Structure 1
């Protein structure tokens, strides 16, 4: 195999297929029910994230650095699920498994960029909670609108750049063995493993990206909450600890929903059947964007109050219109 790779490198022969074939989830009985479930998840995600974004836009009291990050997370969830789920349903429900080469790379780019931004956005929210609890008197000095916007913009640049590099390295590969991708979408790892020439650069960038986008954010979030727990244990009363926990509950829920399935999948991948692994990863991709808005609406007092206020204003406006019409 090494001889073949080196010979292919010397000849500089590139074989780009006209299309790839997405084969994941194809041999599971009654799988169409799962696609119907995914459609429900997508609709719920669409509605939930749209509501969160609308509430933040309509209520001036939510124009804070924290809710800039919440708005961005809702946008990423909405955009990410819109990039993934309709195409996934088109591939499997309507049996359009042949996806053109360039379309596959574009599909990969949008999906990976949004998945990366979800993890990085959780870092921004963790940092916001860290400053709010450890430095409450300096919060408005340290955590400004400009700082949060700059932080989120830098995360977008990081996510887009890392994904572009990964996609760019795929374009140098020759595919002379197979064009069948055993996944539910154009998975970077599955694609570069099909390459016939040297895939070392692809493997390296995949490892770096997973560390930068997945493990480093997780370590930072864990360290930030260790710092919060230490600070609360030293200088706060039981009432203050309960209050601090309530402010962090929504974010901790999002972290658990996003990272725990990935950790279970990657640490136990050898013991998980391929189809079960594909279903678990697909759920990990589409489920958090549906649950995030529900968690923020139910666990965040400001958003609950804002929703009540908007609904009350709308109800009063309807009553006023009816009175005017009756007159």
Structure 2
């Protein structure tokens, strides 16, 4: 029986964070509450934007897409982790691991691309305010989001197909709580040169490239804000992109922290803990960042909740 067949029968063992039985109930409750908070928070953002006509603008259109992707992002890893903790079974099948790997790469890629598109949107709004509605028309917004999805799907498929060519022997343990790309690739017993090359190229093009675009957009934004004479005008201009800048900083700092920690230390548990920040914590905090710092979102949420309260419980038929 070949190594590929052995992998398909046994799958992988996700070691997670801790093997101490006493910590399992606490970890289950913690991650369940974080997951529910993430889903509820992002769902409320989406519903508030859909239900309020004042928020039918490019900025909030991109934000609703980001909230949807964040729900998918955390749903890719946390439910399986909760099942593993509850059943005390660390196994994930080969097909399940590849599927999780694909959707994780897709969600993280979409997060990066949408944050870049949102930076461009803020750049146009602040640097070309008189032409904003003409430039950021519904057709362009739809094309930008569609492009994000196309590039994300193709990139994820590329990594997945390259991973499918790998053979795995006896080392099927992944010191992580999900099937992280580097961990899966480096647990293979076949040559991984092509995989490492694809990871490096896509990281430079699809991670560093968007980051450079975001930095360029904000350099122009800062220059435009500095050119505004009144302090009130500067504050108003900065407040329109403060939430996005906070989300970008949080996402990229945690993502950078993961790969710096994996490069500096060989401790896989510390790398898994760092990965928790951008896969679970960041999607959970994004709705709070946008709702707490944005009067339009807070107002839409209040109106949405008031309408729900006014409707009250639905009476049974008959």
TM-score, normalised by the number of residues in structure 2: 0.90
Match of 2:33 in 1: 40
- The partner residue of 2:92 within 86, 96, 99 is 99
Residue ranges of structure 1 left out of the alignment (5+ in a row): 1-12, 319-327
Structure 2 residue corresponding to 1:23, chosen from 6, 15, 18: 15
Max radius of gyration: which structure? 1
Secondary structure at the aligned position of 2:87 is classed as coil
* Displacement of 1:258: 0.8
Which residue number in structure 1 is paired with residue 158 of structure 2? 165
* Cα 1:315/1:26, change in 2 over 3 Å: closer
Counterpart-to-counterpart distance in 1, 2:284 and 2:214: 22
Show the 5 A alignment for 1:93-172: 93-172=86-165
Change (3 A) 1:50 1:197: same
Partner of residue 283, structure 1:
277
Check conservation: 1:14, 1:173, Cα contact below 8 A. Answer: no
User: What is the rounded CA distance, in whole Å, between the counterparts of 2:248 and 2:134 in structure 1?
Assistant: 26
Match of 2:215 in 1: 222
The alpha carbon displacement at 1:160 in A equals 1.2
8 Å Cα contact 1:76/1:118 also seen in 2: yes
- Structure 1, 22-31 or 118-127: larger mean CA deviation: 22-31
Q: How far apart in 1 are the matches of 2:237 and 2:230?
A: 11
Residue aligned with 1:25, SS: coil
**Is the partner of 1:175 in helix, strand or coil?**
coil
Q: Distance in 1 between matches of 2:22 and 2:265?
A: 23
Mark the CA change 1:308 to 1:23 in structure 2 (over 3 Å): closer, same or farther: closer
CA RMSD of aligned residues (A): 2.1
- Report 1:1-327 matches (<5 A): 15-16=4-5, 17=7, 18=9, 19-27=11-19, 31-32=23-24, 33-269=26-262, 270-271=264-265, 273-313=267-307
After superposition, the C-alpha distances for 1:126-146 in whole angstroms (9 at most, x for unaligned) are 111000000000000111111
* Preserved contact between residue 119 and residue 217 of structure 1 (Cα < 8 Å): yes
Number of aligned residues: 307
